[in-house]
Amino acid sequence: MQSMMAFVTGLLFGVGLILSGMSDPSKVIGFLDVAGLWNPSLAFVMGGAVLVGFLAFQLAAKRPKALLGDVMRIPTATRIDRRLVLGGLTFGVGWGLAGYCPGPALVSLASGGSKPWLFAVAMVAGMALFEILERVPGARERRVA
Amino acid sequence: MTIDWANFTPGSSLAGGVLIGVATAMLLLFNGRLAGISGIVGGLLRPAKGDVGWRIAFVLGLVLAPAAFGLVAPLPAVRVDADGAVLVIAGLLVGVGTRYGSGCTSGHGVCGLSGGSPRSLVATAAFMLAGFATVFVVRHVVG
């Protein structure tokens, strides 16, 4: 049941990405190009999503458990550290170079030729590299320091 | 600043955003999970018992979304300007960066901001600024 619901939400999320224009890299770069011919459309994506999301988080905060019975897994971390900022900056550079972030890249695999595959395979390789670096002895200690 | 009115689509972008919000709300309220794509995919690389199926199902839903969309309307045209080498470098940066920073556009940008997380606000500001700066350099300094 959990997987069925996850599949439906993934499908809906993907349809939303396509409809919104997020899965078109040229549109994403048009949004990020504030000094050129700027396309502000994608600000509306964030606006619409956060509007609905805000209500959902209000509801979720009142519930100890999700509707299908699992515990609510809402992150509680509050630490603003170097990892968070440097990670965000690194992601932003990649996003600006290609115009893809993770969701749109996956949504484009079935219909977008070889380019989204190049990006997505490299992205998963980058994630795997992170996992390897995290397992190097001492990585956690350095992280706290 | 010049606005690109020819490609300005506030209606479909807002509607798409609402759908993303509804999907995020459903995954949160039914499954108790955050619809953060980099987190969902990254979690598959450190598989834990009972924690794999829903991730694969969600990713499968994302991948099949164009087929669902195509049943209702023709898929919008997309354009990728970056060449192969740039796409690979960008993919690596996005993969490493989203995992170090614990989230991407969906996890921090949608979920985190919806939940009022100061961490996500900082992360979102960081990736937006880096995105603006990168496009500025590529389009107006190097280009």
Each domain of chain B, given as residue ranges in start order, spans: 5-142
Q: Convert the pLDDT of each residue in B113-126 to its tens digit.
A: 999 999 999 999 99
Test A15 with B65 for CB contact under 8 angstroms.
yes
Over 70: is that where the pLDDT of A50 sits? Answer: yes
Q: How many domains does chain A have?
A: 1
* Owning domain of residue A100: 2-144
Nearest CB to B57: which of A7, A43, A53? Answer: A7
Tally C-beta pairs within 8 A across A and B: 499
First CA to last CA distance, chain A: 42
Q: Which two tokens mark B19?
A: 């759908």
Q: What does the buried/exposed string (b/e) look like for B56-88 if buried means 16 or more CB atoms within 10 Å of the residue's CB? A: bbbbbbbbbbbeebeeeeebeebebebeeebbb
pTM (2 d.p.)? 0.95
User: Is the minimum CB–CB distance between A140 and chain B shorter than 8 Å?
Assistant: no
Q: Convert the pLDDT of each residue in A89-109 to its tens digit.
A: 999 999 999 999 999 999 999
Nearest CB to A42: which of B13, B33, B69? Answer: B13
For residue A52, give the nearest of B12, B125, B115 by alpha carbon.
B115
ipTM: 0.96
Amino acid at B85: A
Strand partners, A71: A65
Mutate to test the interface with B, among A90, A107, A142 (most CBs of B within 10 A): A90
Name B37's Cβ contacts closer than 8 Å, sequence gap at least 6.
A101, A102, A103, A106, B62, B104, B105, B106, B107
Question: What's the pLDDT at A141?
Answer: 56
User: Is the minimum CB–CB distance between B121 and chain A shorter than 8 Å?
Assistant: no
pLDDT band at A145; cut points 50, 70, 90: very low
